[in-house]
Amino acid sequence: MNTHDFVQKYGINRKDTDSVKWDGMAKSFDGRNDLVPMWVADADFKCPDEAVQAIENFASLGVYGYTLAPQTYKQAFIEWERKRHHYECREEWIRFVPGVVSGIYIIIKALTNPGDAVIIQTPVYYPFSDAVKNTRRKLITNELVDNNGRYEMNLDDFEQKIIENDVKLYILCSPHNPVARVWSEQELDRVFDICIKHNVTIIADEIHQDLIFGDHKHITSPIVSQGKYSDSIIMLTSASKTFNIAGLQNSFLVTASIELGEKIDEELKYDAIHTGNPFGYRAAEAAYRYGESWLEDFLKVIEENYQSLKMILSQDGRIHVYPLEGTYLCWVDLRECVFPDDVHRVVQDIAGVAVDFGEWFGDCGKGFIRINLATIPERVQDVGKRLLNAIDA
Ligand SMILES: Cc1ncc(COP(=O)(O)O)c(C=O)c1O
């Protein structure tokens, strides 16, 4: 399907649907609920038809009692991982978690004690730092560095901070939200090598694993260097970003390590997490089985949205739009044209746009914004023009 047809068929007005992005912005944007919503990471497109059909079929039963995960659910995920990520995931490596963020909390609690140090790489998805702080662990930040307009890991600082703070756990974001990097195998190999050397366990948040552009290749953490590190990795992923079904609350926790798996099982018992939402199981399974062409079309829309936003914003030579290697989240540096303290006023008050402000991802993000591209092209173009005009004003 071409992008025009995809947008016509799946694009939807989500206003007044209790969408967090559309109807829940007042809390984060000074009481305003009239901004153009380009923040929360979900999409303004209906999910694949087969996922809707699977939900309708289950809904028509009329009985929603305690429900097992369908036998075929994990199998659909395993097949997807094999096909898209060249990874042979075994059934016994998979645990259910409601969300990737709740998975992070579960792993932190299962593997560390209050006061233990956990390292993250900022700017990064802010629930990572919340999870560390809310579980009373010590937050250690290792800033990514901008090398000629592309972010890289600062591994010397990473290793030094691990040693100095006796770090126990590392939370990797792969692909990385918000800087849209798809880490190469070599980069992952190097960072994992440091972790292993210092007995640091790795949480790999791969929720954006299927949103990859151009020639970039997502390398799922358990297969880096032919699986050399897989005993020290717990990978988290979901069909939620891939197929826009985040509200259904079904995610996967994967580890090849028997020892880590047992600790996770203990924690899951302790947290009384047993089974997921039956609607979510069915939607995820149907999407994995039948949604691949929907995903390919969705990615084309994102790619075009990125190109058009970049073209509009580059009319002001002082705005830097980072390459979109993965995710549908575009990272933009406004520091050359807007004083960092003025970004909220310019973007929110003058342009009338709700974005994720850079400092939400860590102090080093101040002066940047993150724009969600998973919406109709007209809205992306409108937002580009609004930002240009507001910066001019
Ligand atoms: C990197 C990353 N991890 C996790 C999540 C949220 O996952 P969940 O809704 O499954 O908790 C997001 C959502 O934006 C994300 O970008």
Cα of 317 from ligand 1 centre, angstroms: 32
Q: Which of 207, 208, 244, 250 to mutate to test the pocket of ligand 1 (most atoms within 8 A of CB)?
A: 207
Say whether pLDDT at 393 is over 90: no
**Residues 179-214: tens digit of each pLDDT:** 999 999 999 999 999 999 999 999 999 999 999 999
Say whether pLDDT at 368 is over 90: yes
User: Which tokens belong to 272?
Assistant: 């009384």
The fraction of the chain above a pLDDT of 90, given in percent, is 96
Cα of 201 from ligand 1 centre, angstroms: 20
Cα of 361 from ligand 1 centre, angstroms: 13
Q: Which of 258, 275, 290 represents a domain boundary (last residue)?
A: 290
At 136 the pLDDT is: 98
Q: Are residues 137 and 282 in the same domain?
A: yes
Question: Could you tell me which residues come within 8 angstroms of residue 348 by beta carbon, excluding any fewer than 6 positions away?
Answer: 29, 30, 32, 35, 354
Lowest-pLDDT choice from 37-41, 158-162, 269-273: 269-273
Nearest CA to ligand 1 atom 7: 100
Question: Closest ligand 1 atom to the C-alpha of 329?
Answer: 16
Question: Closest ligand 1 atom to the C-alpha of 176?
Answer: 1
Q: Are residues 349 and 253 in the same domain?
A: no
Q: Which residues line ligand 1 (CB under 6 A)?
A: 41, 99-101, 125, 173, 177, 205, 207, 238, 240, 246, 251
Q: Are residues 246 and 366 in the same domain?
A: no
Q: Which of 240, 258, 290 represents a domain boundary (last residue)?
A: 290
Range of the domain at 239: 55-290
Residue 66, domain CATH: 3.40.640.10
Q: Using 50, 70 and 90 to split pLDDT, how confident is the model at 272? A: confident
Cα of 120 from ligand 1 centre, angstroms: 15
- For the segment 262-281, the average pLDDT, to the nearest whole number, is 92
